[in-house]
Structure 1
Amino acid sequence: MPPVIELTGVTKRYKDTKAVDGVTLRIDGGKIYGLLGRNGAGKTTLMSILTAQDPETSGTVRVFGQHPYENDAVLSRMCFIRESQKYPGDFTPAQAFKSASLFFANWDQDFADRLVEEFALPLKRRIKKLSRGQLSAVGVVIGLAARAELTFFDEPYLGLDAFARQIFYDRLVEDYSRHPRTIILSSHLIDEVANLLEHVLLIDQGRIILDDDAENIRGSAVTVTGEETNVAAFTAGRTVLHRERLGSLASVTMEARLGSADRARAADLGLELSPVSLQQFVVRKTTAAAGRAGVEPRTVTEPSELEVAP
C-alpha cells in the first residue's frame, strides 16, 4: 500500500536559513502522529509544504502519491488547522462550519453540533469578536468534524483552557477510534498529548532526528542518580543525553533499556533509576543532538497566516 506522505531530500530556504533541511520521511498513515520540536524547529514549515501552502525549495514531495500544489484531488482529502487560523472578518462560527461542510466530503454536522455545545461556542457572534479560546475551538471543531483522511493540527488548541483541551483530546481519540484516519498533531504540551500519540516525529534544526513508534520510545531512556563515580561506572559506554553534577552526586539521562541484571547492578551500586517521560526524552534528545552538532538553537520565522487547506 503506498504511503500517505513521502518526502525525499526536502529543503525549504528562507533567505540564508534552511527551515527544513534535507528531510526524507515516509508516513504510511492510519495513526496519530506527533510532530514535536522546539519553536523554530521547522514543524509549521514542514506542514505548510505538505499542505501546499508554502512550496519546497528542493526535493520531492508526495501526498497520496502526488504533489499537493494546486492539486484539488489531493487537497480535498486533507485539512490543516493551526493556532493562527484566519477566517473572513465578518464570518460567524456558523458560517465557518457551513463553508467547511461544503468542502469536506466526510463532514459530520451532528458531531460538529455536539462539539459546539461542549465548547459553549456562540454560533452567531462574529469570529473577530471571539475570545482566543473560542477562536481555537472553532478550528478544533472544523478539524475534528471534517474527518479528512489526512488532518494536521498545528497547535490550534493552545488558546483553550485545560478543561477545553481535555475535551479536545477525548473527542479526538473517541472519533479516531470510530473513524480511523491519519492525524498529525504538533504540540508543545508534550506530556499532555503523550498518551494520544502512536508515532513520534522529532524535528530540530530543520532535520528529523527521531522517527519511531511511541511504544518503542517508552522505556528507551532512564535517569541514573547517585555517587558520581558509581554513576560514571554504570553509564560507561552508553549513549548519554544529559548530565548534571552536584558535589559528589551526579544525575545522568541515558538511552538504554535496562534488564534485570542492569537493575540489580544499579541497586548494588546504590543508584536510583527513574523513568523518563516523553517530554523529558524529547528535550534531552534535542539538546544532545544540538550539542553533538556544535550549533546553537536557531530561530526561524515561519509562515504565520495560512488558511485551512486547500
Structure 2
Amino acid sequence: MKIDVRDLSKKYKEVDALKNISFQLEEPKIYGLLGRNGAGKTTFMEILAGQILATKGQIYIDGEKPFDNQKINESICLVKEGNNFKKDLKVKNVLQIFQYFYPTWDEELAKELVEEYNLNPNARIKTLSKGMESALGITVGLASKAPITIFDEPYIGLDAAARKKFYEILLEEYEAEKRTIILSTHLIDEVSLLFEEVLIFQEGELVLKEEADFLRNNTYAVSGTTDEVEAFISDKDVIESKQLAGMMTAYVSGDKQDAVAHGLQVEGVPIQDLMIYLTERKGA
C-alpha cells in the first residue's frame, strides 16, 4: 500500500510535534523510524493509523485518508509501547477481538506466538507483567498480517532472548509475505540489519530518508593525524568530527575507497551512531 505524506503538521497547544513533513513510502519494506524522544515519531504513527487527526496536511493510503475509514483501518495495525489493550480483558479475548477486526488475521501464527511467549490465554491484561503485555502486542502485530504493520517500541520488558526471537519471527513472516513494516525503536544496534530504509525525525521534522544499504556503504569514520584528516575532509560532507592529542576522527558521507586511497584508517558507522550525530548536528 502506498503511503503519501503531504505537508503534515501536528500542534499540541504551543508544541509543534510535526512540522510540515512530506514523503512517500511506495513499496513493502522494513522501515526504521528513528529519532530522539519528542521527535514526533509516535504522533506520526498515530496519525498514520487513523487514531488522531493532523492539525494541517494529510496522510493518504492508496489515495484514502485513514481517519474514520474502516477499510483502511483494517489494513493498519499499530502496536504501541503500552496501553494497547483494555485491562479487564483476558488474553484470549484480545486475540478474538483482533481476529474479528483484521481480515488478514493468521490464527495459526497467533497460537504459535502465544506458545512461544508462554502467554496464559485466561490471564487478564491487568495481571500481565510488562514483558508479557509486550509479547501480546507483538503477537497481535505479527498475526494481524496487516499490510501496514507498525511497532512503536513494542518490546519494553522483554529480555534479550525474547527480543531476538521477535526479530527472527518478524523477518521470517516478512520474507514469506511482504508487507510494509515500520519499526520505531531506541535499540537500533539490535535491529539495524533488518532495516531496508531509514527515516530519522528531529524536532518534528524529517531530517533523513535513505536506503539502509546506502547509509551502510556511504557513511564512514576516517581517522589519522589532524592535518591528514583535515586535508581529506576539506571538500567532503562531514557529519561530525572530533580531535584528541593530535589525532582526528571524522564521520563522512561519500565513497569509502577515496579515504582508503589516501592511506587513512576507515571504519563503518553504525546506524545508531549516525542517528545520534545527525540529530546533534545543528541545521541537520
For 1:172 and 1:194, the matched residues in 2 are separated by: 13
Alignment-mate amino acid for residue 261 of structure 2: A
Per-residue CA deviation, residues 96-152 of structure 1 (Å, 9 max, x unaligned), is: 111111111111111111111111112211110111100000000000001011111
User: Identity over aligned residues, as a percent?
Assistant: 37
Tell me whether 1:254 sits opposite 2:247 in the alignment: no
Note the residue ranges of structure 2 that are not aligned, 5 or more in a row. Answer: none
Among residues 235, 238, 245, which one is paired with 1:237 in the alignment? 235
Aligned partner of 1:298 in structure 2 is none
Task: Report the Cα offset of residue 198 of structure 1.
Answer: 0.9
Alignment-mate amino acid for residue 69 of structure 1: F
SS of the residue 1:158 aligns to:
coil
For 2:142 and 2:179, the matched residues in 1 are separated by: 11
For 2:30 and 2:250, the matched residues in 1 are separated by: 31
CA contact (8 A) 1:20 1:46 kept: yes
Note the residue ranges of structure 1 that are not aligned, 5 or more in a row. Answer: 294-310
Among residues 275, 278, 299, which one is paired with 2:271 in the alignment? 278
Task: Report the Cα offset of residue 63 of structure 1.
Answer: 1.6
Alignment-mate amino acid for residue 193 of structure 2: N
Per-residue CA deviation, residues 192-241 of structure 1 (Å, 9 max, x unaligned), is: 11111111111111111111111111121111222111111111111111
SS of the residue 1:148 aligns to:
coil
Aligned partner of 2:204 in structure 1 is 206
Task: Report the Cα offset of residue 292 of structure 1.
Answer: 2.7
CA contact (8 A) 1:85 1:139 kept: no
For 1:19 and 1:139, the matched residues in 2 are separated by: 25
Task: Report the Cα offset of residue 264 of structure 1.
Answer: 2.3
For 2:178 and 2:261, the matched residues in 1 are separated by: 43
Task: Report the Cα offset of residue 246 of structure 1.
Answer: 1.2
For 2:130 and 2:259, the matched residues in 1 are separated by: 50
Q: Which moved more, 1:9-18 or 1:86-95?
A: 86-95
Provide the alpha-carbon RMSD of the alignment. 1.3
Among residues 260, 263, 267, which one is paired with 2:260 in the alignment? 263
SS of the residue 2:45 aligns to:
helix
SS of the residue 2:156 aligns to:
helix
Aligned partner of 1:192 in structure 2 is 190
For 2:171 and 2:83, the matched residues in 1 are separated by: 23
Per-residue CA deviation, residues 242-297 of structure 1 (Å, 9 max, x unaligned), is: 111112111111112222x53121x2xxx321111111111112222xx136xxxx
SS of the residue 1:128 aligns to:
helix
Task: Report the Cα offset of residue 69 of structure 1.
Answer: 1.1
SS of the residue 2:155 aligns to:
helix
Aligned partner of 1:109 in structure 2 is 107
Task: Report the Cα offset of residue 29 of structure 1.
Answer: 2.6
Aligned partner of 2:9 in structure 1 is 11
For 1:187 and 1:148, the matched residues in 2 are separated by: 20
Aligned partner of 2:57 in structure 1 is 59
Task: Report the Cα offset of residue 178 of structure 1.
Answer: 1.0
Task: Report the Cα offset of residue 166 of structure 1.
Answer: 0.7
For 1:214 and 1:224, the matched residues in 2 are separated by: 20
For 1:108 and 1:213, the matched residues in 2 are separated by: 30
Aligned partner of 1:37 in structure 2 is 35
TM-score normalised to structure 2 length: 0.96
For 1:48 and 1:239, the matched residues in 2 are separated by: 34
SS of the residue 2:19 aligns to:
strand
SS of the residue 1:85 aligns to:
coil
CA contact (8 A) 1:93 1:123 kept: yes
